[in-house]
Amino acid sequence: MGVPWSTLFTLGVWCLWLRRNNFIFRNQHNIKNLMAETIAKAFEFAFLGLNERHCHSLTTIQVWCLPPPEHWFKLNSDGSSLGNPSKAGGALPTKANLCRRHVTESATCERCIREEETTLHSLWSCSKIVSAWTAPEWCACQNLNPSNFKELLSWILNNHGNPELFAMTTWGLWHQRNQARLLRPFSSSDLVVAQAKERLDEFIATIPLLPPALPRPRMKWKPPDVYGFKINFDGAIFKQENKSGIGVVIRDHSGAVIASLSQLTAPAFQPIEIEALAVARALEFGKEIGITEAVLEGDSELIINSLKAGGKSIASVESLLQDAFVLSNCYSKLLYSHCRREGNRLAHSLARYSINVSNYVVWMEEVPTSLIKVVQQDIANMANQFQ
């Protein structure tokens, strides 16, 4: 498929790593298909690499294996030989590991001077660090009796709400043990816990917050309240004909059409211009019909927001929007609503329809025959208003 295996593999590793971070730092499980995600990223990457417009130096990617920077931590399960846990080597240079590798003669823990210093012992069960694990955060773990660190870690990951604090605490204990071994000053075990919390808070503070989820505009047409009316408007541009169109429809709470309008105008305006013309025409039309309370709805966020702000903020159409704003004062109650194009289909169809009319046409309690199905579709959608 044109994407080299080396790219696929590298991006696969990258995706796996991101997923692992999501789990560790945010406690989020990613259920998306890893292969699909990798392939999508690989294609994107290959596209960027091939497309000079974007970037011409992006032809290789490298993943570096660096030790974690300060304030970062690694969770190490310390059991790489999965099939034979009793012989698991483990990554930490504990006395037991060093002794097994014939680096030291004794495997005895230098803190308690009683037991063999395995990973589990140095980070969890040594009698000298008991006070680190009797803090209230770990009360759920009091009766645990893991046979190795890997077992402990998997219990924490599955059952404890705060594996990050666990990682920080074990890191602190390991640091404490090393300081003690090197005859340097070291923190007491209860202090290790307090420091772990502090470090974790500091670390969390550096994670950028996710932007708040914006409310998604509705996809379907939504009727107004029982006593109100809704005015939908839209504009259309006919470049070839050098013309523009306006569509407006007024409906009640049951979706029944009170009036509709389709108007052709010249020349072919800019999109924002025809939307501004359409909104002014919509307000004028509603006033002609005799509506005094309404929801005005369009799919142009710019126009709706500008009207909410009193008709300002878009220089090129400010005078048009000022007209609309003046007209809005003729209503005793007027609310503004932005919807997606799907929610504005009828007004959109009426604007497109204008190419077949000269000047403008108004239908009382009706729409052109070819658009009846759009009205019916909106009414059908009212039954299931889930977005």
Ligand X SMILES: *[C@@H]1O[C@H](CO)[C@@H](O)[C@H](O)[C@H]1NC(C)=O
Among 266, 309, 330, 380, binds ligand X (CB under 6 A): 266
With b for 16 or more beta-carbon neighbours within 10 A and e for fewer, the 349-375 pattern comes to bbbbbbeeeeebbebeeebbeebeebb
* Segment 231 to 260, residues that bind ligand X, using CB under 6 A: 242
Closest by CA to 46, choosing from 2, 82, 89, is 2
Query: What is the Cβ-side half-sphere exposure of residue 164, based on CA atoms within 13 angstroms?
Result: 19
Angle at 11 between CA 6 and CA 14, to 5 degrees: 130
Beta pairing, strands 333-338 & 243-251: unpaired
Task: Give whichever of 10 and 265 is closer to ligand X, judged by the CB atom.
Answer: 265
Torsion of CA 351, 354, 360, 365, to 10 degrees: -60
Region of 102-110, 116-124, 213-221, 351-359 interacting with ligand X (CB under 6 A)? 351-359
Task: Give whichever of 118 and 244 is closer to ligand X, judged by the CB atom.
Answer: 244
Distance CA 18, CA 21 (A): 5
Among 4, 85, 161, 267, binds ligand X (CB under 6 A): 267
Region of 18-26, 64-72, 314-322, 352-360 interacting with ligand X (CB under 6 A)? 352-360
Q: Does 373 bind ligand X (CB under 6 A)?
A: no
Region of 38-46, 216-224, 326-334, 347-355 interacting with ligand X (CB under 6 A)? 347-355
Least distance to ligand X, CB of residue 26, Å: 50
Region of 187-195, 296-304, 333-341, 350-358 interacting with ligand X (CB under 6 A)? 350-358
Distance CA 275, CA 348 (A): 11
CA distances from 141 to 11, 73, 134 (A): 38, 22, 9
Among 171, 285, 325, 353, binds ligand X (CB under 6 A): 353
One-letter amino acid of 223 = P
Q: Does 352 bind ligand X (CB under 6 A)?
A: yes
Task: Give whichever of 156 and 351 is closer to ligand X, judged by the CB atom.
Answer: 351
Region of 190-198, 283-291, 327-335, 348-356 interacting with ligand X (CB under 6 A)? 348-356
Residues that bind ligand X (CB under 6 A): 242, 266-267, 352-353, 355-356, 370
